[in-house]
Amino acid sequence: MESRLIRPSGRLRRRSWARSLVVVAAVIGAGAPMAACPAVADGPIRQFAYVVNDGPDTVSVIDTSTSTIATTIKLGAGADPVGLAITPQGTRAYVANNGPDSVSVIDTTTNAVTAVIKFTPGTDPFGVAISPKGNRAYVTGFGHDTILVLDTTTNTVAATIALPPGSRPVSVAVTPDGRRAYVSDFGTDAVSVIDTTTNTVRATIKLGDKASPETVAIAPRGNRAYVASNGTNSVAVLDTRTNAVTGIIKFAPGTDPFGVAFSPKGNRAYVTGYSDGTVSVIDTRSNIVTATVKLAKGAVPVAVAVTPDGALAYVTGFGDHTASVIGTASNTVLARIPLGLGAKPFGVAFTSTGPRIPLPSARTGPPVP
């Protein structure tokens, strides 16, 4: 079957081996604690969503209490940002820039870029995950079949892990204990399991022919991983103790699952359907889809992330330049936030100074160009 690969530039490129829209950030460190900044002494507690935008090459900082953009961070022309992750302390965000083969480091207290970590040309960095202690960042090198390990203290490359040739790694997630990292290998229809102590590949989990895995997410308890397999319209369930596939959650043809995120309690998982414009809600105890949320026409949902309190799920709309906000209690869209003309949002992650201030009511925002 002929397939597509949509790169951060938004251009449609033909590939004979699969169809992929790289989505990393809903998984951005899935399995690691949600980022939380130190609490402020006085004033209301606030929480922010960071969304990377290809096209304008920016990061939108959204106040989740008002569903409005608080500020916009410029990354530089041609950055082509894809994935991002925020440290557990909530003080820094790491953004993978596919265009210049680099990672931008953002100080979340000032929302300024404080460092740029450069890689070898052709690395094609896509996915980012942070270790639970916050001392390491893991970046997928799609172009070179590598994982780059960053020392977050010095913002330098501490190690480069070679994956099997042709792996084409897309996303990465770290277990809650920090001992392993799981990598979705789009090119070889597999998941690589990395020992983070030795920085070596510990195991390879085969997902089946033409699985085309996109996003991998790890449950909060660390006992399971979900892998969105775009090529087979399914999500593979992995037992992280045995590194075996224990179940397959199937979707209707044409769903094209891409992004995956667990709720903080781990009892729900949210999966974006790139082609049918949906978000599926999975009961993780039974591995059954219990609800389907339909987004606006043309949304093209990519990444999904759940707020630390579990009340909201943010979904990036690659097609309609928005971030959709889903209320997890009602499984309905509460807000649709315009990110600007030409914005093609990919990754999303949260940082906060404490519990979220509840939304006063549902809102859709101004018309989206």
For 119-130, give the DSSP string. Answer: --TT--EEEEEE
Q: Are 62 and 73 in contact (CB under 8 A)?
A: no
Q: What is the DSSP letter of 231?
A: G
**pLDDT (average), residues 271-282:** 97
Residue 40: predicted pLDDT: 38
CA distance 178 to 174: 6
Alpha carbons within 13 A on the beta-carbon side of 302:
30
| pLDDT average, residue stretch 66-94 | 96
User: Which two structure tokens, joined as six digits, stand for 93?
Assistant: 């965000």
Nearest C-alpha neighbor of 176 from the set 274, 262, 236, 108: 262
Please answer whether residues 60 and 339 qualify as being in contact, where contact means their C-beta atoms are separated by less than 8 angstroms: yes
DSSP calls for 235-298: EEEEETTTTEEEEEEE--TT--EEEEEE-TTSSEEEEEETTTTEEEEEETTTTEEEEEEE--TT
pTM over 0.85: yes
- What are the strands of the beta sheet with 288-294, ordered from one edge? 257-262, 268-273, 278-283, 288-294
- Interval 310-361: pLDDT, tens: 999 999 999 999 999 999 999 999 999 999 989 999 999 998 654 444 544 4
Position 340: which residue type?
G
> What confidence category does residue 44 fall into, taking pLDDT thresholds of 50, 70 and 90?
low
- Dist. CA 284–CA 269, nearest whole Å: 7
Q: Whole-angstrom Cα distance, residue 202 to residue 305?
A: 28
Segment 74-88 shows an average pLDDT of 96
Helices (H), 22-144: none
**Cβ-contact 84, 98 below 8 angstroms:** no
Q: What percent of the chain has pLDDT over 70?
A: 83
pLDDT of residue 227 exceeding 90, the answer is yes
Contacting residues for 349 by C-beta, under 8 A, at least 6 apart: 25, 28, 29, 35, 49, 50, 84, 85, 86, 93, 305
Bridge pairing between strands 81-86 and 92-97: antiparallel
pLDDT at 46: 77
pLDDT at residue 360, rounded to an integer: 42
- Annotated domain spans of the chain: 24-352
Structure tokens at 112: 């300024």
Average pLDDT over residues 91-115: 97
Q: What is the pLDDT of residues 246-262, one digit of tens each?
A: 999 999 999 999 999 99
Question: Which element (helix H / strand E) includes 68?
Answer: strand 68-74
Distance, in Å, from the CA atom of 201 to the CA atom of 148, rounded to the nearest integer, reads 13
pLDDT at 35: 47
Give residue for tokens 């950055």: 79
More confident of the two residues 246 and 18: 246
Q: Is the pLDDT of residue 202 over 90?
A: yes
Distance CA 219, CA 263 (A): 8
User: Do residues 222 and 177 make contact, with C-beta atoms less than 8 angstroms apart?
Assistant: yes
Domain 24-352 has CATH 2.30.40.10: no
3-state secondary structure 300-366: CEEEEEECCCCCEEEEEECCCCEEEEEECCCCEEEEEEECCCCCEEEEEEEEECCCCCCCCCCCCCC
Nearest to 272 by CA among 343, 190, 348: 348
What tokens does 132 get? 């639970």
Answer whether residue 33 shows pLDDT above 60: no
Residue where the block lists tokens 């992280």: 240
Rounded to an integer, the average pLDDT of 79-86 is 96
188 near 167, Cβ under 8 Å? yes
Q: What is the pLDDT of residues 151-174, one digit of tens each?
A: 999 999 999 999 999 999 999 999
Q: What is the mean pLDDT of the chain?
A: 87
Strand, coil or helix: 232: helix
Of 108-122, 148-162, 289-303, 343-357, minimum mean pLDDT range:
343-357
Number of residues written out for the chain: 369
CA count, 13 A, side-chain hemisphere, 123: 25
